[in-house]
Chains A and B, each alone.
Chain A
Amino acid sequence: MLLAPIVWVLTVVICYYFAAQVWWFPPAISQHGLAYDAQFMRTLVITGIIFFLAQFALGWVIFRYRDNGTRAHYSHGNDKWETIWTSATAILFVGLVLMGTRIWVAVHLSEPDPNAIPIELMAKQFAFSFRYPGPDGKFGSTDLKLVNDAAGNPFGLDDKDAAGKDDIVSASLKVPAGKPIKLIMHSRDVIHNFFVRELRLKQDIVPGMEIPLYFQADTPGVYEIPCSELCGLGHFQMRSTMEVMSEADFEKWKVEQAAQ
């Protein structure tokens, strides 16, 4: 039966490309990223084994049990096997999700670091903007009516507020390596998404909500930020970058920006 070898060959080819990792994650740049990769590999190995065995078994019955004119053994099933595979799958699936829970808790539910560097993200069709509070550590107040993208004021910073005088606004994200960051996310029109592959982090940016995201990046470099929630006709080109720099470079960058 031709179908059996086809199922087997497809199975082997699919498994090969997962094993060969030709198209794969970029290297992780954070502790969270490493934990993520470990959970991914656990899931991949377990589902990979189930995938291989299930497809192999399917191919086997197709290959083995062609009609030969005799009658099959009359059976309506087997409760023992039914119980075994039901419990086994339940334990395996729920076990996997519980193992991943630590990662989820670390990202979203752990006690936030009070010393995390606050950075505000404002998303709009079709650009990201980032704001740093400046030396005073305070964000100045903003007003939608003052928004002027052409004049470089995507946040609508209020000139009259002293706290906003030293705020730094940037089109790309700069963070110091090895320091906890608190990214405070806003959107002013539709839903957007913040995604850095190397951080293994993703979060929708929802208008009307203030969503904080805590992370720490350890490896210096420049990483792309693709918008990952459909936001309109320019969705495919809504791009920014995250540059992870040494602490000294980061301080130097802030001084340069403040001077402008």
Chain B
Amino acid sequence: MASPVAHSAHHAPQGFIRKYVFSLDHKVIGIQYYFLALFSVLIGMSLSLLMRFHMVHPDAKVGWFGTLWPTAAQGGIMTPELYLSLMTMHGTIMVFFVLTTAPQSGFGNFFLPIQIGAEDMAFPVLNMLSFWTTLLALGVMVAAFFVQGGAPLAGWTAYPPLSAVPQAGPGEGLGQTLWIVSIAIFSGASLMGAINFIATLIDLRCKGMSLMRLPLTCWTWFVTAILGLLGFAVLLAAGVLLILDRTAGTSFFLPAGLMVSDQILNHKGGSPLLWQHLFWFFGHPEVYIAILPGMGVTSQLLSTFSRKPIFGYRAMVFAILSIGFLGFLVWGHHMFMSGMSPYSAMAFSVLTMAIGVPSAIKTFNWIGTLWGGRIRYTAAMMYALGFVSLFVTGGLSGIFLGQPALDLYFHDTYFVVGHFHMIMGVAAIFGMFAGTFYWFPKMFGRMMNETLGKIHFYMTFVGVYAIFTPMHYLGIAGNPRRYSDFTNFDFLGKLLPVHTFMTHAAYFTAAAQILFFFNLFWSMWKGKKAPMNPWEATTLEWTVPSPPPFDNFAGQHPVVNHGAYEYAVPGAPRDYIMQTDPVDVHAE
């Protein structure tokens, strides 16, 4: 498994640039990814606040809007096309640069090698390259705001013809081109990352770290990497075809008979549905790329802090694998209303319900883990418990949307917006909060403030429920999504009070995040010094100093003798057995 000889040749780099900027160390790269996501989430959250403001005050005149967007918000009044640009960029930045980046590339990079007893990732140079490529993609994406016509308005799904025809709207010119280029670069970066994760997990596990002794976090990072490898390859291809349709006159996604802005186009033979198939073949696994690592972190934390082995480890592994497999067979449920064959809709719906089963298994096993436990309510544990609650809520609305019959009404309403925000948005973010509070001591050598953390948790937990639950009621009332204001329809006017409530809930929740950012940066410099194993946890990262040395195990080669969740073992001297403890720990 491990190749100690080659890896012992690692020497700590000297000099600031090699150590912290162009670093090959997976830990530094993990932290770089984490901060990239943190920066992105600030942009994404600000955009959502502007959107929520505009929806309830579409005619408001705000001086600095005009300063920021001289054309799209002339005189300080936000135009509908600016709203759509904000929406497109909010979705794109959140999905790619936050949900895909922090849980997998951030935490995964830092902790996968340590948890399997390796000194680094399999390909450190590739690792560095994938981070800098991701940063480049972010730069290109943000640049779309500043070009002629502004950012694209076709949504994060970029359905052609809207995204393929430059005259289809403002932002569909250079802005949309930059968007596609950025996504293509990001896909490349993700492919590099995925290859690295897969190779690392397969080849670099230390002695004794059999697959069934892996922490569940490693399983989720591994399966997520496979999803990324297969999904981003297809997205990259789709992006190239879309660019060709826009610039080279090809017609992959454009049919004959198009007339946009009174201008007849010369395309023929393409299909707008082809894009949707390619996009969702990536897009659905992407949902699991966002949520699987959160599931892994939650499993890890629930076991650690309830001082009990994870309930049904094998069932959990089986569930992760089947979610990964089935995740590639359900993309059509995004297309029930697309004009796709109604027969395939029925097949996709049965498969969609099937993927609900392993998700339900995970939930049952989490409750089973907590049942009869000795729960320690740390801030990290609160987020993991919050994750379970949000996962249940967000998952169950999928039972409505997975039925084509019910999707006949709910498709493209706020019911969908509520569903995916609840599960892949906030549940995944709670996974990140949990991971942050749990691993911060190991990453930065200091503890975060528990009291601040818990206050932040309660405010955020209630806040996100207040934002996203009412969206389900709006969906039932038929409110379409992606509307910049609600004054043109009689039935929407009546729903405005609900929107106003959600906007206020969003302000409140965003304000609560100040506590998190303060806690994070304050603790980095002023937090209490962290011991090696503050949570009395069993996995390998807790056997090394906080923060770990350059090659993680200081030249030692750890040997694993136990499974990952040995808590409350009868007869053991402590209530937990580290994975590296000697085999005969019981006899002591």
State the A residues within 8 Å of B (CB). Answer: 1-3, 6-7, 10, 14, 17-18, 22-26, 36, 39-40, 43-44, 46-47, 50-51, 54-55, 57-58, 61-62, 65-79, 81-82, 85-86, 89-90, 93-94, 96-97, 100-104, 107-109, 124-125, 144-145, 147, 149, 188-191, 193, 195, 197, 200-204, 206-209, 211, 224, 226-237, 239
Q: Which segment of B233-241, B286-294, B488-496 sits at the interface?
A: B488-496
Q: How far is the CA of A202 from the CA of B413 in the complex (A)?
A: 11
Instruction: Convert B331-361 into 0s and 1s, putting 1 for each residue whose CB lies closer than 8 angstroms to a CB of A.
Output: 0000001110011011001101110110011
Q: Which chain B positions have C-beta within 8 A of A67? A: 307, 374-376
Q: How far is the CA of A44 from the CA of B361 in the complex (A)?
A: 21
Q: How far is the CA of A78 from the CA of B367 in the complex (A)?
A: 13
Q: Is B313's beta carbon under 8 Å from chain A? A: yes
Q: Which chain B positions have C-beta within 8 A of A107? A: 405, 408
User: Are A61 and B371 in contact, with the CB atoms below 8 A?
Assistant: yes
User: Are B309 and A93 in contact, with the CB atoms below 8 A?
Assistant: no
User: Are B264 and A62 in contact, with the CB atoms below 8 A?
Assistant: no
Q: Is B162's beta carbon under 8 Å from chain A? A: yes
Q: Can you sample 30 A-B contacts with CB below 8 Å?
A: A3-B385, A25-B409, A47-B397, A58-B389, A66-B374, A71-B568, A71-B575, A74-B567, A77-B309, A77-B314, A82-B315, A89-B356, A93-B357, A96-B353, A100-B403, A104-B405, A124-B259, A188-B259, A189-B168, A189-B259, A189-B260, A202-B407, A202-B411, A211-B339, A226-B489, A229-B159, A230-B159, A235-B80, A236-B484, A237-B488
Q: How far is the CA of A228 from the CA of B417 in the complex (A)?
A: 13
Instruction: Convert B257-287 into 0s and 1s, putting 1 for each residue whose CB lies closer than 8 angstroms to a CB of A.
Output: 1111110100000111100000000000000
How many contacts A-B (CB < 8 Å)?
A: 329
Q: What is the interface size of chain B, counting residues whose CB is below 8 A from a CB of the partner?
A: 117
Partner of B312, one of A54, A82, A89, A90: A82
User: Are A208 and B271 in contact, with the CB atoms below 8 A?
Assistant: yes
User: Are A65 and B375 in contact, with the CB atoms below 8 A?
Assistant: yes
Q: Which chain A positions have C-beta within 8 A of B356? A: 89, 93
Q: Is B71's beta carbon under 8 Å from chain A? A: no
Q: Is B569's beta carbon under 8 Å from chain A? A: yes
Q: Which chain B positions have C-beta within 8 A of A226? A: 478, 480, 483, 489, 492
User: Are B406 and A55 in contact, with the CB atoms below 8 A?
Assistant: no
Q: Which chain A positions have C-beta within 8 A of B465? A: 10, 14
User: Are B413 and A85 in contact, with the CB atoms below 8 A?
Assistant: no
Closest to B407 in A: A202
User: Are B389 and A78 in contact, with the CB atoms below 8 A?
Assistant: no
User: Are B338 and A204 in contact, with the CB atoms below 8 A?
Assistant: yes
User: Are B272 and A3 in contact, with the CB atoms below 8 A?
Assistant: no
Q: Which chain B positions have C-beta within 8 A of A102? A: 405
User: Are A77 and B272 in contact, with the CB atoms below 8 A?
Assistant: no
Q: Is B525's beta carbon under 8 Å from chain A? A: no
Closest to B253 in A: A208
Q: How far is the CA of A180 from the CA of B155 in the complex (A)?
A: 36
Q: Which chain A positions have C-beta within 8 A of B363? A: 54
- B574 to nearest A CB, angstroms? 10
Closest to B386 in A: A3
Q: Is B585's beta carbon under 8 Å from chain A? A: no
User: Are B405 and A71 in contact, with the CB atoms below 8 A?
Assistant: no
Closest to B388 in A: A58
Q: Which chain B positions have C-beta within 8 A of A86? A: 315, 357, 360-361
Partner of A25, one of B314, B397, B477, B570: B477
User: Are A26 and B399 in contact, with the CB atoms below 8 A?
Assistant: no
Instruction: Convert B359-385 into 0s and 1s, putting 1 for each residue whose CB lies closer than 8 angstroms to a CB of A.
Output: 011011101101111111100001001
- B546 to nearest A CB, angstroms? 23
Q: How far is the CA of A89 from the CA of B392 in the complex (A)?
A: 13
Q: Is B169's beta carbon under 8 Å from chain A? A: yes
Q: Which segment of B122-130, B138-146, B468-476, B512-520 sits at the interface?
A: B468-476
Closest to A33 in B: B409
Q: Is B245's beta carbon under 8 Å from chain A? A: no
Q: Which chain B positions have C-beta within 8 A of A54? A: 363, 367, 392
